[in-house]
Amino acid sequence: MSGWDVAWLRGRDLAIDLGTANTVIYARGRGVVLDEPSVVAVQTGTSHLLAAGTRAKEMLGRTPESVSAVRPLRDGVISDADVTERMIRWFVDQVAPSRLVRPRVVVCVPGDITGVERRALEDATLRSGARRVYVIEETMAAAIGAGLPVEETRASMVVDVGGGTTDVAVISLGGVVTSRTVRTGGDEIDEAIVSHLKSEYSLLLGERSAEDLKVAAGSAFPLAEELTGRVRGRDLVTGLPKTVSISSAEVRRAIETPVAQIVELVRTVLDVCPPELAGDVVDRGIALTGGGALLRGLDERLSHELGVPVRAADEPLHAVARGAGRCVEEFGALERVLVDNRRP
């Protein structure tokens, strides 16, 4: 039996980034092994899971009445604990089918989670087959995943733009010093696109189509070469399908409100954090993580408005899982950032 098989039987410790939009799992010694939308398809009125992940996301907005496709974590915390637990179990089963030895699991939690919500998440993870559950603050994981020197005295700032929320944190000495969250993220940007097309073109878009347009032609800062995106929806006047072409400049105007909210959140955190640390951030810059980091020009927009260097992390959608994964690789070394990483 190869070493790999033996390790497999021993159980693989995991780090789980249970995001509002995507769940990413990192397995010890293997790296990121799963990246799926945090969507489940359930039998309507029950919590019986028919599918989870990509297959369930494809069903969003097009299910028969007997099936509902839902995002149980939509606003950043568990809105349906039972379904969330089943979703975690579904994903963990994909990457750790062995039930012989149950894995230790590091779960990432939002900074503003309440004690009750955190226990619900820990319980859900335990019931889904974990031997032991550790918790790490999402922004701390994002900072580690972005390669920031979180243990240093000098402060770093991370801005994680997810689906349901944007989280900003200033980190030094292995702890989160100042953090803020808003319920504005990629979803809100998609909704702004939906409402723009509705009011300007009488076009009704599904959330998937709005997201596709955002990815194809969305931006937060003028582009060197503006783009054109095409989007298909239902004409509210005729009731028939209709396709509209729209410039990136127009999409940018449509999403200005949520983008400005993200910029203001970062400005607030710079304002309220201790001045020495704000100085460190201005010197060293800000790391962007989460899927929203892929929005064109978000880095330039932030740096233009705040006068701070900004860079997107490599593979920003995996930054949180990679950061939590580092803790799984080095449980001992990184124990201090786990469980309780907020300084008194």
Check binding of 22 to ligand ADP (CB under 6 A): yes
Please tell me the distance from the alpha carbon of residue 318 to that of residue 98, in angstroms, as a whole number: 25
Check binding of 140 to ligand ADP (CB under 6 A): no
Please tell me the distance from the alpha carbon of residue 244 to that of residue 231, in angstroms, as a whole number: 5
SS3 343: coil
Out of 11, 72, 162, 325, the only residue in the binding site for ligand ADP (CB under 6 A) is 162
Q: Which stretch binds ligand ADP (CB under 6 A): 117-125, 166-174, 290-298, 301-309?
A: 290-298
Question: Phi and psi dihedrals of 161, rounded to 5?
Answer: -105, 105
Please tell me the distance from the alpha carbon of residue 17 to that of residue 40, in angstroms, as a whole number: 16
Dihedral angle computed from the Cα positions of residues 193, 194, 199 and 200, in that order, rounded to the nearest 10 degrees: 50
Q: Which stretch binds ligand ADP (CB under 6 A): 93-101, 147-155, 209-217, 333-341?
A: 209-217
Check binding of 19 to Mg ion (CB under 5 A): yes
Dihedral angle computed from the Cα positions of residues 95, 112, 263 and 307, in that order, rounded to the nearest 10 degrees: -90
Please tell me the distance from the alpha carbon of residue 51 to that of residue 46, in angstroms, as a whole number: 13
CB of 268 to ligand ADP, least distance (A): 20
Please tell me the distance from the alpha carbon of residue 228 to that of residue 216, in angstroms, as a whole number: 8
Out of 76, 129, 145, 162, the only residue in the binding site for Mg ion (CB under 5 A) is 162
CB of 3 to Mg ion, least distance (A): 33
| 145 binds, options Mg ion, ligand ADP, none, Cβ within 5 to 8 A by partner type | none
Out of 12, 16, 20, 322, the only residue in the binding site for ligand ADP (CB under 6 A) is 20
CB of 240 to ligand ADP, least distance (A): 27
Q: Which stretch binds Mg ion (CB under 5 A): 17-25, 26-34, 110-118, 220-228?
A: 17-25
